[in-house]
Amino acid sequence: MRYLSVFIMLTVLMSSCKSKGALKETNINKNELIEKITTQLKYSPVLKSDFDLSQRRIFPRTVENGELGLVNRRDWTSGFYPGVLWFTYHLTENPEWKDQAIKFTELLEKEQFNGSNHDIGFKMMASYGLGYKYTNNAAYKSVLVESAKTLVTRFDETVGSIRSWDHHKDKWEFPVIIDNLMNLELLYWAWKETGDSVFYNIANSHAKTTIKNHFRSDYSSYHVVNYDTITGVAKDKVTHQGYADDSAWARGQAWALYGYSMAYRETQDPEFLKQAEKVANYIINVATLPNDFVPKWDFSLKDVESEPKDASAAAVMASALYELSTFTTSAENKEEYLKVANGMLASLSTDKYFNTQGADEGFLLKHSTGSKPWKSEIDVPLVYADYYYLEALSRKLELQKK
């Protein structure tokens, strides 16, 4: 009987895959998944009519110990929740989601002038960037251009990079983290919208300096590189969130993969495509992924079984691999990238990683890890996991259309 049940289940999955609403190669019914997403998101307390948007902390970031973690607009994750709403509007074409996305996006307006760290790119592209893409609102364009101007103030010509953090000045002279690649999308966007080559030159300089100093011979990446501002030389290569200085923090590898795929999309520079492909090879064939394609929080862990997963890393990787599959000139690479991306999206859409309806205050995915070394946000939902999961889904659907 057990084998008969398995056969029936597989038959149902295969027939579902052949249906009009299927996501090919994933055994996911598109319409059912979108319905599941929208139903779950409606459980978020911040969408309730009586939620006070005038309070300081309004953007969902996580749920820890059963409590919703809200952050203010200055937090690096604040733009992802508006982005979740924009993607949901894009997937459903329901104007109610658009109204919510506009509301939460415009609460971030003052962040266009916040130059206290590199995260302005994360915040503004996920919120105003998607908002501009889906509405063509000229006011959003102005905010984004100003945000790009703010970001370039953190560039050091001697180092050739954008400074990531201002904290720990007693420890780091000029820290640059691999995550910083993600903020370059704002600069490339501003270059194309304004024609000002300053944005392009700074973004390219940062991306190429990172290639030079952040990667090991196997194309895994260090998390933090500390530079000498007098000579521009990389003094230290360490970690802040990984298992060890010489380990491969999973989400860091995801940022690298996504960052160079994006940089190639914006510039068509073959050096960036090569780097993205090398990082992809490390993730898929050197580090090796588990059977469900969702990595532990660091690829270099010793006692793997007892360590938590990081669904957010898988979501970022899946989104990047879908895009990279459209750029690579190798048929073998394309097939491999799609296989892994489909595997990640399929796993993240199962009950193992997708939340039970009504659980965790409306977050979509569980089992992400924010910062294990700092004992923060371990095995929890994270808003950026949801954001990149929805981006991966959107990219999968676009690929199917083509």
Q: Which residue of the set 50, 75, 179, 269 is catalytic? A: 179
Specify whether 218 is catalytic: no
Does this model's pTM top 0.85? My answer is yes
196 in a labelled binding site: no
Query: Would you state the pLDDT for residue 20?
Result: 57
Percent helix / strand / coil, the chain, rounded to 5: 55, 10, 35
Query: Would you state the pLDDT for residue 78?
Result: 98
165 in a labelled binding site: no
Query: Would you state the pLDDT for residue 169?
Result: 86
Residues whose CB is less than 8 angstroms from the CB of residue 283 and which lie 6 or more positions away in sequence, other chains included: 253, 254, 257, 289, 299, 317
Query: Would you state the pLDDT for residue 3?
Result: 37
User: Is the CB of residue 91 less than 8 Å from the CB of residue 394?
Assistant: yes
Positive or negative, the CA dihedral 80, 86, 92, 98 is positive
371 in a labelled binding site: yes
- Give pLDDT < 70 ranges for the chain: 1-20
Specify whether 179 is catalytic: yes
239 in a labelled binding site: yes
pLDDT digits (tens, 9 = 90+) for 184-213: 999 999 999 999 999 999 999 999 999 999
Q: Which residue of the set 119, 310, 360, 386 is catalytic? A: 119
44 in a labelled binding site: no
Instruction: Provide the strand spans (E) within 228-294.
Output: 234-238
Calpha distance 244→402 (Å, rounded): 42
User: Is the CB of residue 230 less than 8 Å from the CB of residue 167?
Assistant: no
